[in-house]
Structure 1
Amino acid sequence: MRGKNKNTEFRIQNSESGEQYTEAKIRNTEAGKQHSEPVKTNTLKQEEISHQPLTSSATSQQPVTRVALFASGAGSNAQKIIDYFRDSKTVSIVLIACNKPGAGVLNIAEKEHIPVLMIEKEAFFRGNGYVDELKTAGIDFIVLAGFLWKVPATLTAAYSNKIVNIHPALLPRYGGKGMYGMFVHEAIIAAGERESGITIHYVDNVYDNGAIIFQATCAIEPGDTPAMLAQKVHELEHAHYPRIIEQVIGHLQKQR
């Protein structure tokens, strides 16, 4: 990978094809480094959202970006992101959106005193995608952290290039509908692959299709099981996702 150019545009090279994703605006700032090893509720009701502040207290030098985390499961990535930005002066995690009652991420929201927006399927896909609720809550940026539903066009249009996702494989391989969690790791092990990794990408209207921002790899050793691969990939997720989110948001803040 080459260093930053005068327009602060970065390129990431797909390790499979050599294709460069010129639309990606952020990459690993440690230019040239190859990641070949793993590195080690209170529910927000609709009528309450209007009472949330529309803007955060911020200085003119350091605008605060208000972030919503979308999650469906235990929330390990969500917790890492919350911890990473806990003392940030420019990024604030102000909302957790969840589509699964009883999900572990709701316990995290309660512990961290972060409001929750429960997402119902009918309203999400046939309504406005909760755009009004998110805008009213002052959400500037959305992070998918283990969110298993496809994001509707109404939401991707409202937050164009302001929604990111992490996928537990090296896209464009092993992506698409139904490819999540252990399904991905099982497919990769069954195919006899020698490496896997993570892909952080922008979200558009097609599963796992948005412009790639960052990838990191981990080796698959002989005898590795899907569970062992999952652990390696989780380590990559926790090490890189918060940092790349920070870079993407920082890039957006400079454009204000």
Structure 2
Amino acid sequence: MLKIAVMISGGGTDLQSIIDACQAGKINGTIELVISNRQKAYGLQRAQKAGIETAVVKKNDTLIVSMLKERNIDLVVLAGYLAILTDELIDAYPNQIINIHPSLIPSFCGAGMYGMHVHEAVLNRGVKVSGATVHFVSSEIDGGPIIKQVACDISDLDKPEDIQARVLEIEHRILPEVVGLYCDGRIKVENGRAKVI
């Protein structure tokens, strides 16, 4: 079984979806560590309730890399982690860090596009379809190989909170699915493109 670390900043609903999938035997891996850059992130309580080790680390990727290496982590999952990773961390885990983004990359992504900012921008632009993307993390913000995307119709919605809720349903479905595929060795990156085999 692969060893997984999850990095969070907030409520941890995406984290919970992975915890639930692990407990249901749908992922051939175990969450060994949950790291937050915010002391009061509710996701830390979710992890502790599930008996998972937690840590709060702010702006210190050198320490994070050390913690991950000490625990022989195979996969790092960014699940609502609202900080930009340094090259030190990215280079330590090439194509071993995945992120969930609340839009259909390459739309509404990059610097400043996170959380509710994404859904507000989607609403203001008047797009009719949004969704979620799981991708590998690279040095380009939201620019790594895309693993999975699922779209949803949002033409009937007029509040960013409602768009967020609909997109979250997709996130909670596809993030554990991709983690499971990774743990089964079914994701390969060739020529900058991620493929499920």
The question of a shared fold, defined as TM-score above 0.5 by the shorter chain, is answered with yes
Pair member with larger Rg: 1
The whole-number CA distance in structure 2 between the counterparts of 1:98 and 1:187 is: 26
Show the counterpart of 1:115: 53
The whole-number CA distance in structure 2 between the counterparts of 1:141 and 1:222 is: 37
Is 1:219 paired with 2:153? yes
Identity of matched residues, %: 37
Show the counterpart of 1:9: none
3-state secondary structure, aligned to 1:142: strand
3-state secondary structure, aligned to 2:104: coil
| TM-superposition CA deviations, 1:51-72 (whole Å, max 9, x none) | xxxxxxxxxxxxx100000000
The whole-number CA distance in structure 1 between the counterparts of 2:156 and 2:180 is: 35
The whole-number CA distance in structure 2 between the counterparts of 1:198 and 1:253 is: 18
Cα shift at 1:159: 0.7
Amino acid at match of 1:98: S
Contact 1:129 1:152 in 2 (8 A): no
Against the structure 1 CA distance between its residues 120 and 99, is the aligned structure 2 distance closer, same or farther, given a 3 Å change threshold? Answer: same
Cα shift at 1:219: 0.3
Against the structure 1 CA distance between its residues 65 and 195, is the aligned structure 2 distance closer, same or farther, given a 3 Å change threshold? Answer: same
The whole-number CA distance in structure 1 between the counterparts of 2:151 and 2:63 is: 33
The whole-number CA distance in structure 2 between the counterparts of 1:228 and 1:93 is: 30
3-state secondary structure, aligned to 2:16: helix
Contact 1:129 1:154 in 2 (8 A): no
Show the counterpart of 1:186: 120
Contact 1:129 1:155 in 2 (8 A): no
Q: Structure 2-normalised TM-score?
A: 0.90
| TM-superposition CA deviations, 1:105-136 (whole Å, max 9, x none) | 11112211111122121x23xxx252122111
Cα shift at 1:248: 2.0
Show the counterpart of 2:65: 131
How does 1:127-166 map onto structure 2 within 5 Å? 128=62, 130-166=64-100
Q: Structure 1-normalised TM-score?
A: 0.70
The whole-number CA distance in structure 1 between the counterparts of 2:170 and 2:21 is: 15
3-state secondary structure, aligned to 2:119: helix
How does 1:12-161 map onto structure 2 within 5 Å? 64-88=1-25, 90-121=28-59, 123-124=60-61, 128=62, 130-161=64-95
3-state secondary structure, aligned to 1:73: coil
Amino acid at match of 1:232: R
Amino acid at match of 2:176: P
The whole-number CA distance in structure 2 between the counterparts of 1:132 and 1:253 is: 26
The whole-number CA distance in structure 1 between the counterparts of 2:2 and 2:187 is: 8
Against the structure 1 CA distance between its residues 245 and 223, is the aligned structure 2 distance closer, same or farther, given a 3 Å change threshold? Answer: closer
| TM-superposition CA deviations, 1:126-178 (whole Å, max 9, x none) | xx252122111121110000001111111111110100001000101100111
Against the structure 1 CA distance between its residues 131 and 158, is the aligned structure 2 distance closer, same or farther, given a 3 Å change threshold? Answer: same
Contact 2:157 2:163 in 1 (8 A): no
Amino acid at match of 1:119: V
Q: Which runs of 4+ in 1 moved over 4 A?
A: none
Structure 1 unmatched runs, 5+: 1-63
3-state secondary structure, aligned to 1:215: strand
The whole-number CA distance in structure 2 between the counterparts of 1:119 and 1:241 is: 23
Amino acid at match of 1:102: K
Q: Which structure features the higher share of strand residues?
A: 2
RMSD between superposed Cα atoms in Å: 1.7
